Structure 1
Amino acid sequence: MRLFFFRVLPATVAAILLVVAAHEYATARPSRRTQDVAYVPTTDPTFDPERHRLDVYTPKDHAAAPRPVVLFIHGGSWNSGSKNFYSFIGRRLAKQGIVAVVVNYRLAPKVEVPAMADDCARAVAWTVAHIADYGGNPQRVYLMGHSAGGGLAALLATDDRLLARHGVAQHAIRGVFLDDPAGLDMFDYLQKMQYPGDEQYLVPFGKDPAQWRDVSALYHASAHTPPMRLFIGGQTYPSIRSSAEKFQARLTQLGQQPTLTVLPGKKHAAMVLQLYWQHNVLYKELRKFIGA
Structure 2
Amino acid sequence: MRKFFYLSFCFLFFISCQSLKHKDVIYGQSAQKKDLKLNIFVPSHSENKKLPVLIFVHGGNWNSGNKNTYGFFGRNFAKKDVVTVIPEYTLSPEANVNEMTMEIAAAIKWVQQNIDKYHGDKTQIFVTGHSAGGQLVGSAVLNPKFGIPYHTISGIILNDAAGIDMKYYLERNPPKNQNDYVKTWSKDPQKWYEASPIYFLTEHSPPFLIYVGSNTYPSIKTANKRFLKKLHEFQPEVQPVMINKSHIPMILQYFWPWSKRFTETTNFIKKPAR
TM-score, L = length of structure 1? 0.85
Equivalences for 1:96-111 in 2 at 5 Å? 96-111=80-95
Aligned to 1:267: 246
Determine whether 1:291 maps to 2:270.
Answer: yes
Aligned mates of 2:88, 2:231 — CA distance in 1: 28
Aligned to 2:199: 219
Aligned to 1:80: 64
Name which of 119, 124, 139 aligns with 1:135.
119
Contact 1:78 1:113 in 2 (8 A): yes
Name which of 214, 221, 232 aligns with 1:234.
214
Equivalences for 1:1-292 in 2 at 5 Å? 25-40=13-28, 46-49=32-35, 52-62=36-46, 65-162=49-146, 164=147, 168-193=148-173, 200-255=180-235, 257-264=237-244, 266-291=245-270
Contact 1:223 1:256 in 2 (8 A): no
The Cα of 1:45 is off from its aligned counterpart by 6.8
Larger relative contact order, structure 1 or 2 (CA cutoff 8 Å, min sep 6):
1
Aligned mates of 2:173, 2:83 — CA distance in 1: 40
Contact 2:105 2:141 in 1 (8 A): no
Contact 2:63 2:179 in 1 (8 A): no
Q: How many residues align?
A: 264
| DSSP-derived class of the 2:154 partner | strand
What are the ranges of 5 or more consecutive residues in structure 2 without an aligned counterpart?
1-7
What are the ranges of 5 or more consecutive residues in structure 1 without an aligned counterpart?
1-19
Label 1:195 to 1:92 Cα distance change in 2 as closer, same or farther (>3 A): same
Aligned to 2:5: none
Query: Which 4+ runs in 1 deviate beyond 6 A?
Result: 20-23, 194-199
The Cα of 1:195 is off from its aligned counterpart by 11
Label 1:249 to 1:45 Cα distance change in 2 as closer, same or farther (>3 A): closer
Label 1:203 to 1:45 Cα distance change in 2 as closer, same or farther (>3 A): closer
TM-score, L = length of structure 2? 0.90
Label 1:257 to 1:156 Cα distance change in 2 as closer, same or farther (>3 A): farther
Aligned mates of 2:182, 2:261 — CA distance in 1: 32
